[in-house]
Amino acid sequence: MKTRSQSPFYLGFYHDERRERSRMALVDPYMPCPCGSGQKFKWCCQKVETYAERAQRMAESGQIESSLKPLEEGLARFPGNPWLLIRKALAEVELKRLDNAKATLATLLSHDAGHLGAYALRTRLVLETQGPVAAVGWFHQGLSAIVPEHRRDLAALTHYLGVALAEAHHPIAARRHLELAAAWAGDSDRDRVIERALGQLRANPRISAWEKNPYRLLPAPAGATDAFRESFERAIGWAEEGLWSASASAFELLSAGSTAGAVADHNRGLCCLWMAEEKSGVAALRRYVARVGATTEAVDLEALCQILDPGSTGGETVEFVQLSWPLRDRNGLLRALAANPYCAAGSERPIDPDAEESRPTESFLLLDRPRVEARPGLTRAEIPIVEGEVIVGDDSVVLETHDDSRMDRLVDRFTAAARGMIPPAHPRTRVIGKTSRYLLALNRRWSLPEGLDEAEAIRLVREQGAYLLGEVWPETPNPVLRRRTPTQAAKAGDAEVPLRAAIRLLEVEAEDTESAVDWGSLRSRLNLPPEPAVEAASLDLNRLHLSRWSMIPVAELDDNRLVNLYLSARGWGLARIANKAGRVIADRPSVVARFRIDPLGLFGSLAIADARRGDAESARELLRRGRQAESVKPTPRNFEWEMIELQTSTLVDPPETWVRSIIVLFERYRGNQDATTALLYRLAQLGIVQMANDPRKPDRILLDTSILDQLVATYGPRVTTATGELGAATGSGEIWAPESARGGAAIWTPGSQAPAAAAPGQERPRLILPGQ
């Protein structure tokens, strides 16, 4: 448990001024009580002030254990007093008696279920000890007991829960808790912090479009009885207040026994997902899907269920095992494996990544067919598949593979190659993991030959992807199809929605890789209809599921819809769709000016996307056009463009070009602390420098420039120094050294603002070179 000054238990339960008053000997009788109840001090806890004051003085002097005595004395005279119980729980947290703290708070809440301070502290205690899902369950279990006018005081706690849910990979629940916190915070500084967190969550490219999509509760269906409608609208009202647990229970009661109940299943499913109850949410949504039939909405919801339901990628598993033998002749084994056509050299790695003493050592990939040499025209079928890996230690050798049909074959092949270098004994076997058999069939690791042309490698990878998705996937038993293959499910004719959803998931995932799969042909083979087209003339982004934005005919959109799509896609972190719309905007010059589209964001993103595809000429032309569009501004952002140009250069140019650009930039902005810091930050994003917090001084950031220094020494312009040695030259004829160019610049972390000027007598965070 952290110290009191660091502990999150002391943050965000109620207003800062209330916590300050709890440390004061005198409290204004008509101010809110420091126990957090929301009542006036005079009518709440004034009678126990002397006990609380004595305990506080002891706690502030470090006598946490002793501070419990006056609290117990006060509770003996005033049983159930909230201020004394809150202070007792905080002391127990300090003493790491967490179960005792929970029991103390339970006592208080049994007397007053709506006590705001106890409710918030108990939620934070559950969060710290049991995790965000359990904390959210507790939070919503007791929220209805908090009077509505006091719920706004929970904005900080709800914000904290949203962040914790996001870190625990529950994005749907995280977003809804952040939205709830923003509604409670109102127009305040905290609201702006919450909005930034929401923006970062929405823009996170690692969250799928199905999890980001803003699902909405459905209204009561037409034709429902008056009694049903009244109960239904009451449940919606509770949901709008954030009472999702009560709302989910009400919708569950409404879901049975009528056609109208299908909509209640839909709404219950969403309320459960908002509370991170994925299992219950998926069950309710699938009941809704089964009742509404093969609609587009049903397909999108089923796709979401397949993402959230662990059973969708579960089913039968295969053990991943490590077989080990003692070594007799290490050098002989290394030579034998290097010469074996069924082996390919791997990267150095430790035998046991979790053991600190296990150092990186030689490894070899075990192939399903002999190695091939690089040449034009290689076919997909000629490329070997990696079936296992051998790691050669100092005294032992291990073979890692999956315990399926391949294992016996690999063991026989390896022991034959290692004969005489390992003892003829059975290996020691250790299970180190499990893999879904379904995922194992679709994830095949290749061993492309060294020296293969990049264009050839890209072609082969696309062909392999098309083969796996178009040929292997249809014949692989799938957990969401009741362990049937897609082909079998299609013949049975009872799985249109899960089949369409599964293909949509594969199709969207493959969009970023320019897949060669013929999705129309695959749907036809499985007797599935094509997905409905999106009409440009009637496009309403607020009603179209985010996963279907990739189906929008962008070139057919009018200017207003086009710009709306571009800006919205950027806000949702849908980079490929934003770039697709951006290319059309770039071809409509009047749109850039009329809608005030930022040239840096537009042309810079497109240039980097083209550079990643290897199209240097297009990337440079886009940068030229962006600079031209920027030139009409009163103060063009030259430095920002130079950063984009540098990033583009690292993708398309040889190191000789962009390393010299780095040197020129450091020289150009020598003495400009903010520009130098931004340059170092961009180099850190590119992996050219490494940054870490100084464990001894948290306000300082360590800067490791070894990669940059090596690049400069290798590719920088060469000069002869006064001692006759070679060095890397700057544009001014000096010898370039990282520390001379940086001069100890300040730096900021991702998501923060640029560093502000230090206050008089205050030191700014510094970049520190290791060893200095």
C-alpha distances in Å from residue 767, one per residue of 380, 691, 692, 698, 772 = 49, 9, 10, 12, 11
Point out the least confidently predicted range of 25-39, 261-275, 292-306, 443-457.
25-39
C-alpha count within 13 angstroms, C-beta hemisphere, residue 751: 11
How far is Cα 224 from Cα 543, in angstroms, rounded to an integer?
Answer: 24
How far is Cα 659 from Cα 641, in angstroms, rounded to an integer?
Answer: 17
473, 502 contact by CB (below 8 A) = no
Helices 638-652 & 616-630 angle (0-180, nearest 10):
180
**DSSP assignment of 511-574, as one string?**
HTTT----HHHHHHHTT-PPPPPPPSTT--TTTS-GGGGGGS-GGGS-HHHHHHHHHHHHHTT-
pLDDT class of 723 with cuts at 50, 70, 90: very low
How far is Cα 616 from Cα 200, in angstroms, rounded to an integer?
Answer: 30
Nearest CA to 29 out of 46, 48, 50, 54 is that of 46
What pLDDT digit, counting tens, does each position of 630-670 carry?
887 777 789 999 999 999 999 999 999 999 999 999 999 98
User: What are the residues whose beta carbons fall under 8 Å from the beta carbon of 391, sequence distance 6 or more?
Assistant: 349, 350, 351, 361, 362, 363, 397, 398, 400
Mean pLDDT computed over 247-264? 89
How far is Cα 517 from Cα 328, in angstroms, rounded to an integer?
Answer: 49
| pLDDT higher than threshold 60 for residue 335 | yes
Per-residue pLDDT at 728: 47
Per-residue pLDDT at 372: 94
pLDDT class of 257 with cuts at 50, 70, 90: low
Per-residue pLDDT at 343: 95
Per-residue pLDDT at 134: 96
576, 205 contact by CB (below 8 A) = no
Point out the least confidently predicted range of 33-42, 157-166, 616-625.
33-42
pLDDT class of 219 with cuts at 50, 70, 90: very high
Q: Percentage of the chain surpassing pLDDT 90?
A: 63
**Higher per-residue confidence, 150 vs 740:** 150
Q: What is the overall mean pLDDT for the chain?
A: 86
Mean pLDDT computed over 390-418? 95
373, 413 contact by CB (below 8 A) = no
How far is Cα 743 from Cα 769, in angstroms, rounded to an integer?
Answer: 11
Per-residue pLDDT at 740: 45
| pLDDT higher than threshold 80 for residue 315 | no
Per-residue pLDDT at 484: 94
What pLDDT digit, counting tens, does each position of 82-136 carry?
888 988 998 998 899 998 999 999 998 988 888 888 899 999 999 999 999 999 9
Q: Percentage of the chain surpassing pLDDT 70?
A: 88
Per-residue pLDDT at 26: 52
Q: What is the 3-state secondary structure (H, E, C) of 679-743?
A: HHHHHHHCCCCEEEECCCCCCCEEEECHHHHHHHHHHCCEEECCCCCEEEECCCCCECCHHHHHC
Structure tokens at 34: 């420091």
Point out the least confidently predicted range of 237-241, 260-264, 385-389, 523-527.
260-264
Containing 232, the helix (H) or strand (E) segment is helix 226-240
pTM above 0.95, yes or no: no
Per-residue pLDDT at 516: 82
| pLDDT higher than threshold 90 for residue 342 | yes
Mean pLDDT computed over 16-45? 61
| pLDDT higher than threshold 50 for residue 65 | yes
556, 536 contact by CB (below 8 A) = yes
| pLDDT higher than threshold 70 for residue 764 | no
Mean pLDDT computed over 472-477? 94
**Higher per-residue confidence, 404 vs 4:** 404
Bridge partners of 322, per DSSP, are 400, 430
Hey, what long-range contacts does 612-616 have (CB within 8 A, 24 or more apart)?
612/651, 614/454, 614/652, 615/652, 616/652, 616/653
Strands 767-768 and 701-704: parallel
| pLDDT higher than threshold 50 for residue 13 | no
What pLDDT digit, counting tens, does each position of 574-604 carry?
999 999 999 999 999 899 999 999 999 999 9
240, 250 contact by CB (below 8 A) = no
Per-residue pLDDT at 704: 86
| pLDDT higher than threshold 50 for residue 742 | no
| pLDDT higher than threshold 60 for residue 12 | no
Per-residue pLDDT at 364: 97
Dihedral over alpha carbons 607, 610, 611, 614 (to 10 degrees): -160
pLDDT class of 561 with cuts at 50, 70, 90: very high
Other C-beta atoms lying within 10 Å of the C-beta of residue 679:
24
pLDDT class of 175 with cuts at 50, 70, 90: very high
DSSP reduced 3-state for 421: coil
| pLDDT higher than threshold 80 for residue 196 | yes
What pLDDT digit, counting tens, does each position of 515-550 carry?
788 999 999 999 999 999 999 999 999 999 999 999
Bridge partners of 320, per DSSP, are 402, 433
How far is Cα 460 from Cα 378, in angstroms, rounded to an integer?
Answer: 8
Bridge partners of 722, per DSSP, are none
Q: In what order do the strands lie in the sheet with 428-436?
A: 343-345, 363-367, 386-392, 396-402, 317-326, 428-436
How far is Cα 483 from Cα 496, in angstroms, rounded to an integer?
Answer: 15
pLDDT class of 54 with cuts at 50, 70, 90: confident
Per-residue pLDDT at 38: 67
Mean pLDDT computed over 547-564? 97
Per-residue pLDDT at 744: 38
Point out the least confidently predicted range of 19-23, 272-276, 430-434, 652-656.
19-23
| pLDDT higher than threshold 80 for residue 730 | no
Q: What is the 3-state secondary structure (H, E, C) of 64-121?
A: HHHHHHHHHHHHHHCCCCHHHHHHHHHHHHHCCCHHHHHHHHHHHHHHCCCCHHHHHH
